[in-house]
Amino acid sequence: MIKYPKKPGFEPRLLLALGLHSVAIIAYQLVLMQMLSFIQWHHFAYMIISIAMLGFGASGTLVVIARKWFIKRAGWLIPMLMIISGLAMAVTFPISRQEIIQFDLYILFTEIRQFPRLAANYVLFFLPFFFGALAIGLIFIIHAKKIGVYYFSNLAGSGIGGILVLLMLSYFYPQQAFPLIALLPVISGVIIYSKKYKKAQIALTGISVAISILFFIRPPDITISEYKSLSNTMTLPDAEVIYSEPSIYGVIDVVSSPAIRYAPGVSLAFDKDVPVKPSVFLNGNMYGAIPKHDDSAKYNIHDYTTMALPYIMNDRDSVLVLKASTGTAISHALNNEADHTDGAIENKAVINLLKNEFAGKSNNLFHHPKINIIHQESRAFLNENHGKRSYNHIVLPLLDAFGGTAGLNALHEEYALTLEAFQLMWDMLKPNGVITISSWMDYPPRTTLKIFSTLCELAKNNNIDNAHKHIVAIRSWGTITFAIKKTPVNFIETQKIRRFSDEKFFDPVILPDIQPHERTKYNVMEDTSFFDYIDEIMFTDRTDIYHDYGFHIKPATDDKPYFSQFMRLRSVRYLAEVFGPAQMPFLELGYLIVLMTFIQSFVLALLFIIVPLFFLRRTGRGKLPTLLYFGALGLGYMFVEIILIQRFILFFGHPIFAITAVISTMLLSSGAGSYFSSKINDVTKSASKVNLIIAGILLLYAVGLTPILEATIGSHDILKIIVALIFIALPAFFMGMPFPLGIKHLSKSNESHIGWAWGINGSVSVIATSLAMLIAVEGGFRIVITVALISYLLAFGAMKLYKRIIV
Amino acid sequence: MKSRSISTFSFLSLVPMAILLSCILLISFTDDFRQQREQMVRRQLQARGITDSRTIEAMRNTERHRFVPAGQQRFAYEDRPLPIGHGQTISQPYIVAYMTQIIEPKSHYRVLEIGTGSGYHAAVLSEIVDEVFTIEIIEALGKQADEVIDRLGYDNIHVKTADGYYGWEEHAPFDAIVVTAAAEYIPPPLVEQLKEGGKMIIPVGSPFRVQQLMLVEKKDGRITTRNLMPVRFVPFRRADN
């Protein structure tokens, strides 16, 4: 039993409860992210969570408005709020699955009733965060003088929460994880139960536990968006999920149906049966078809697609398949007599599936003596094996989806498709080797042009002046395959390409001696500007087209690794005029969602959290420095977190491990920093100094972090972990100090600002995540790190301003 | 007793009034839909270059609102696709008209449609050609479309719930094939069932956005495709955008 506020000192049970409660909040957030990404797309998760997290800001507002009321009742209110947030965690997801508020992001802009449903989802998922944050905020206010210790407990708990989720999702489906997580805040509430309203607390605890158990045993039915590929596939006759498994990479489903066939863009000259294959889905999205490999097969279905291009040019004895997914390109290489094929697959669960449960379905493809399956993200594989292995064919998968992805992957970092990645591939090519990459033909042309500009820049960077002699491309009715060769394409090869194209009703698009009429012999394009763009990219310095084209078609780089991001802010209005506003989202949904998320979180935070409190009379003097200081900290912390995640995705090779490593290490280290700050007496001076130290570290990172990570990326795992720990923990340790020092400062100078500070910090953190994405896309990571640095300088300035106003 | 007879009388007098009101409403709605259809033809089709008189007449006669879910009826004649459930859509009117016009349908034609969906496109085609054979892979949609088609009295439309991959061999060859839901591949049996000189039209692209249409033609043993542009050409390259 805790008594407030008479005993504001150190309280081990409260610390434990706070830590456990913090574990739950971060775990709930991450599982919710996973769940919403599964039933919808990760952008939906992003939108919902960004609004839900404003619960932190709103709780701060409420505490400021009714500070005395809350403090007076804190003894029973804190445990009660914890239990309520647990209850909310258990029930919100099942409620959100009710027909009346089920929402579909895909038709948000075409069906008006989706908007109230979206709003209902916002409100629903806001609740657990709001109640949870209210409990934390109250603890911080009451223990402001010992904030360092309590903030440590909060951050350490959050750090552990990140690791817990990773373990949980390996064994449970996300819908089962919710009730388990929901028990944690309830336990926290029980740990610090209050004698007052004891019956109410017991009743609420009982209800929460009972509901959690119920939903764990009988989780709600999951209906995924009818526009996701899994849903579409399940409408086929006799479609059946023959395997399902939760994994840290997402939920894996294997579906079979006599109507699932795989033959992407197959030639119209193909007159045989298109093979039926079971398909693997990851989080409801098509991941790949399981090929039934046959060494003695007379043909491979890919021989009738443009992807056969490298094999008709020459023999390919050693092949590297990047992003090999379920191994269709590996099977193709084997059927084309490759002696050795390496396949890099980032998803261990899929590898296991094809090596074990589905080994028979693929005729033991992944156990074939001529292939080597490597569990690694493609870029990490390139980095590690640069200078060690060489190939005469490196193949990238078919990009984009048939009919387009509606830009749903726009903001995924794709380090395997940056100019730096292509350089690594180039260096690993044998003298007559080729890199091939294919794409669905898109309209307006974007993916195809970006691939081509990347290949042209690659040629230029390797001092090839006559790129048109090194690059070839052929096009079918639906796909295009580009190949770049280290040595010039010779006459025999061009003749083979022409003959093959004729047989398959394909058209050559790029050949050293291409004639204009050849490009549309079988597949006529009414809008032929695609060829003009191709020629301009090939034969000019590309500056004009990069600048003038309606979409980003400049190659992606490690600094801006968003290959699938094409939308540019300045052409939004023009494209809306051309296609109509309703169709804009389907050109690139991902970018628009982030833009929308930023605008809505900014407006909501401003309207309901920052402005009301700014005009509240009782908040006293020094409002501007409080706003600046805690706002800058919220912005700076999130920007650094996002930069580190992006840098370490490249370093570790997989987003899941990078996100877990960065978030958990940062939070734990910041917790340690916070604890350390509790020993500091000269609060104001130290707060200024610490912010300067952080700005200094960020300055060093802006210059030196990338080269250091690049130098150690190919090292042994243990060394990599040590490097990661040092470079994540160092700034995070200091970054854990300014917030508690600031709160401590307020507890001495203006206690009424504490709740507000908590609210501002929470709100700005939310705004910062979408803002950082937009800045990264438009300006690159260097700009993001510069803004983070400026934020900490701003916090330093705000502390100085406090002194002038208050002292 | 008296009061009961009064109330019975009042009730009885309400019945013809209600019938009258319903009739007025029905007529006004019907008129309203007819007007909307006329506007659709003028603003969405003729204004954008649909010139084939048979296509225009078919679009004018086919009651699109009968093919969409009840909740979507008021949007039936808007210039956009509408969701019909199961992740499927009824195409934008203009796309339906464009696809119809491009196959140059004649009254003696036998047309195969892959992807019945709501049944609307089959109905439009049936206004022009001799026979329409339509195949839907999703059982619930196929059944629903069959019921609507039956109810509206289209007796030259034959609906089958099956995998469209195999086409409809018993009735092949076809003068034209309309594929309303494109896949990652064009099924070889469909190419096989297309008459020499016949045309196959396929939309490529997400149903909710500007779609490219692809015309497949079979002539002298060669199969060629043509990417058609249902929207006006636009320069994606502009110095001032």
Residue B147 maps to which CATH number?
3.40.50.150
* B14 falls within a domain: no
Q: Do A574 and B80 touch (CB under 8 A)?
A: no
Most confident of the following: A38-52, A177-191, A238-252, A756-770: A177-191
For this complex, say whether ipTM is above 0.90: no
| pLDDT tops 80 at residue A15 | yes
What does the pLDDT look like over A599-626, one tens digit per residue? 988 888 888 777 776 666 555 677 888 8
Per-residue pLDDT at A208 exceeds 60: yes
pLDDT band at A350 (very low <50, low <70, confident <90, very high): very high
Average pLDDT over residues A675-695: 90
Task: Please answer yes or no on whether B237 and A545 come within 8 Å at the CB atom.
Answer: yes
pLDDT of A127 > 50? The answer is yes
Best mutation target, A104, A527, A540, A568, to test chain B (most B CBs within 10 A):
A527
Mutate to test the interface with A, among B234, B236, B238, B240 (most CBs of A within 10 A): B236
Whether the per-residue pLDDT at B24 is higher than 80: the answer is no
Lowest mean pLDDT among A254-263, A379-388, A601-610: A601-610
Q: Looking at the annotation, which residues of B are catalytic? A: 91
Over residues A226-253, mean pLDDT: 89
| Chain A nearest CA to B145, separation (Å) | 16
Separation CA A84–CA A182 (nearest Å): 10
Question: How large a percentage of chain B has pLDDT more than 90?
Answer: 56
Question: Is residue B63 a part of any domain in this protein?
Answer: yes
Does the beta-carbon distance from B87 to A523 stay under 8 Å? no
Whether B187 sits inside 8 A of A274 (CB atoms) is: yes
Residue among A272, A404, A549 minimizing CB distance to B206: A404
**Which pLDDT belongs to residue A6?**
46
Mean pLDDT across A722-747: 93
Pairwise CA distance, residues A305 & A475, whole Å? 9
Q: Please name every residue paired with A165 in a beta bridge, in sequence order, or none if there are none.
A: none
Shortest Cα–Cα distance, B230 to chain A (Å): 10
Task: Determine whether the interchain pair B212/A443 forms a contact, defined as Cβ–Cβ distance below 8 Å.
Answer: yes
Determine the pLDDT at residue A583: 62
More confident residue, A226 or A253: A253
Total domains in the fold of chain B: 1
Residue B194 lies in a domain: yes
| For chain A, percent of residues with pLDDT exceeding 70 | 94
Q: Are A548 and B238 in contact (CB < 8 Å)?
A: yes
The reported pLDDT for the residue numbered A410 is 56
Task: Say if residue A112's pLDDT is above 60.
Answer: yes
Q: Which of B85, B86, B236 sits opposite A444 (nearest CB)?
A: B236
pLDDT at residue B7 in the model: 58
Lowest mean pLDDT segment, chosen from A36-50, A786-800, B18-32: B18-32
- Give residues with Cβ within 8 angstroms of A350, minimum separation 6: A249, A252, A280, A282, A287, A288, A325, A326
Asked if the Cβ–Cβ distance from B185 to A522 is below 8 Å, we say no
Reduced to 3 states (helix: H, G, I; strand: E, B; else coil), residue A430 is strand
Nearest to A524 among B83, B226, B234 (CB): B226
- Identity of the residue in A110, A522, A550 whose CB atom sits nearest the CB atom of B224: A522
pLDDT band at residue B239 using 50, 70 and 90 as cut-offs: very low
pLDDT reported for residue A584? 62
CB contact under 8 A, B237 and A578: no
B227 contacts A268? CB cut-off 8 A: no
Quickly state the pLDDT bin for B122 (edges 50, 70, 90): very high
Q: Which of A350-359, A496-505, A701-710 has the lowest mean pLDDT?
A: A701-710
- Mutation choice for A interface testing from B237, B238, B240 by most A CBs within 10 A: B237
The answer to the question of residue B130 being in a domain is: yes
Nearest to A550 among B212, B223, B241 (CB): B241
Least confident of A65-74, A332-341, A797-806: A797-806
Query: Measured between beta carbons, which residues in chain B are less than 8 angstroms from residue A445?
Result: 236
B25 domain-assigned: no
With CA atoms as reference, report the closest residue to B78 among B102, B98, B94, B100: B94
pLDDT at B210 over 60: no
Nearest CA in chain A to B229: A526
CB contacts, 8 Å: B87 with chain A: 225-228, 231-232, 235
Per the CB < 8 Å rule, is A586 touching B163? no
Selected residue with higher pLDDT from A705 and A750: A705
Q: What is the pLDDT of residues B25-79, one digit of tens each?
A: 665 556 688 999 999 999 999 998 899 999 999 999 999 999 998 888 888 998 8
Residue B35 within a domain:
no
B205/A545 CB distance under 8 A? no
Least Cα separation, residue B96 to chain A (angstroms): 18
Residue of A nearest to B141 (CA): A235
Q: What is the mean pLDDT of residues A362-388?
A: 92
SS3 at position A471: strand
In this structure, what are the phi and psi dihedrals at residue A299, rounded to the nearest 5 degrees? -155, 160
CB < 8 Å to B234, chain A = 444, 578
CB contact under 8 A, B185 and A274: yes
Instruction: Report whether pLDDT(A790) > 80.
Output: yes
Can you tell me the distance from the alpha carbon of A377 to that of B57, in angstroms, rounded to the nearest whole number?
57
Secondary structure letter of residue A343 according to DSSP: E
pLDDT given for residue A807 in this prediction? 45
Specify the pLDDT at position B13: 66
Q: State both tokens at A556.
A: 């992606």
Q: Which of A98-102, A372-376, A417-421 has the lowest mean pLDDT?
A: A98-102
**Neighboring chain A residues of B163 at a CB cutoff of 8 Å:** 236-237, 258-259
| Domain architecture of chain A: domains with CATH | 1-222 (1.20.1250), 309-565 (3.40.50.150), 616-807 (1.20.1250.20)
pLDDT bin (cut points 50, 70, 90) of residue A27 is: very high
Q: Determine the Cα–Cα distance for residues A455 and A435; give it in Å rounded to an integer.
A: 9
Distance from first CA to last CA of chain A, Å, rounded?
39
Structural domain harbouring B125: 44-228
Confidence of residue B211 (pLDDT cuts 50, 70, 90): low
A111/A77: higher pLDDT = A77
pLDDT of residue A8: 43
CB A37 within 8 A of CB A45: yes
**Percent of the residues in chain A that have a pLDDT greater than 90, as a whole number:** 54
Question: What mean pLDDT is reported for chain A?
Answer: 88
**Which of A177-181, A294-298, B149-153 has the weakest average pLDDT?**
A294-298
Min Cα separation A138/chain B (Å): 47
Q: Tell me the pLDDT band of B10, cut-offs 50, 70 and 90.
A: low
Structural domain includes residue B85:
yes
Q: Span A85-97, mean pLDDT? A: 94
When comparing pLDDT for A514 and B230, which is higher? A514
Total CB pairs under 8 A between chain A and B: 146
Q: Which chain A residues are Cβ-neighbours of B220 within 8 angstroms?
A: none
Bridge pairing between strands B222-228 and B212-219: antiparallel
What value does the mean pLDDT take over residues A418-429? 96
Instruction: Determine which of A235, A509, A529, A588 to mutate to test the interface with B (most B C-beta atoms within 10 Å).
Output: A235
3 state SS for chain B: CHHHHHHHHHHHHHHHHHHHHHHHHHHHHHHHHHHHHHHHHHHHHHHHCCCCHHHHHHHHHCCHHHHCCHHHHHHCCCCCCEEEECCEEECCHHHHHHHHHHCCCCCCCEEEEECCCCCHHHHHHHCCCCEEEEEECCHHHHHHHHHHHHHCCCCCEEEEECCHHHCCHHHCCEEEEEECCCCCCCCHHHHHHEEEEEEEEEEECCCCCCCEEEEEEEECCEEEEEEECCCCCCCCECCCC
Flag the least confident range among A45-59, A312-326, A530-544: A45-59
DSSP string, A749-782: H-GGGHHHHHHHHHHHHHHHHHHHHHHHHHH-HH
User: Which of the two residues, A712 and B169, has the higher pLDDT score?
Assistant: B169
Interface test with B, best of A102, A223, A227, A257 (most B CBs within 10 A): A227
**A86 Cβ contact partners less than 8 Å away, ≥ 6 residues apart:** A24, A182, A183, A184, A185, A186, A188, A189, A208, A212
Decide which of A656 and A262 is more confident.
Answer: A262
Tell me which of A546-560, B98-112, B211-225 is least confident. Answer: B211-225
CB contact under 8 A, B137 and A551: no
Per-residue pLDDT tens over the stretch A292-310: 999 998 889 999 999 999 9
- A526 → closest Cβ in B223, B224, B229: B229
Structure tokens at A673: 């920093």
Residue in A262, A268, A586 nearest the CB of B209: A586
Nearest CA in chain A to B218: A268
